[in-house]
Amino acid sequence: MDCTLEDGRHRQITGEVMGYIPLRNRRGGQNTHVGEGMTRYTLDDGRVGYGLSEYLTQPPEAT
């Protein structure tokens, strides 16, 4: 991902998902598919950090 910092500098961050958990949330008659991943993030200067990444979708309702 290309990022622009507040001071105008540009950086690039890449992420590698090391583990993934598919989840589902049901609320108010709607479903949301949630995927959470333990992710290794690498900045363009080689620094590494770890954290969670999340992906959400709301599939169309079945008729």
Say what the pLDDT of residue 17 is.
Answer: 96
Whether the model pTM is above 0.95: no
Identify whether 24 is part of a domain: yes
37-40 long-range contacts (CB < 8 A, ≥24 apart) are: 39/15, 40/15, 40/16
Say what the pLDDT of residue 25 is.
Answer: 86
Rounded to whole angstroms, how far apart are CA atoms 23 and 56?
A: 10
Identify whether 7 is part of a domain: no
Say what the pLDDT of residue 61 is.
Answer: 72
**Mean pLDDT for each 10-residue chunk of the chain (63 residues)?**
95 96 87 94 97 91 58
Identify whether 38 is part of a domain: yes
The count of structural domains within the chain is 1
Residue type, 24: R
Quick check: 30 and 58 in contact, CB under 8 A?
yes
Identify whether 52 is part of a domain: yes
Identify whether 45 is part of a domain: yes
Identify whether 42 is part of a domain: yes
Say what the pLDDT of residue 24 is.
Answer: 87
| Structural domain span for residue 35 | 12-57
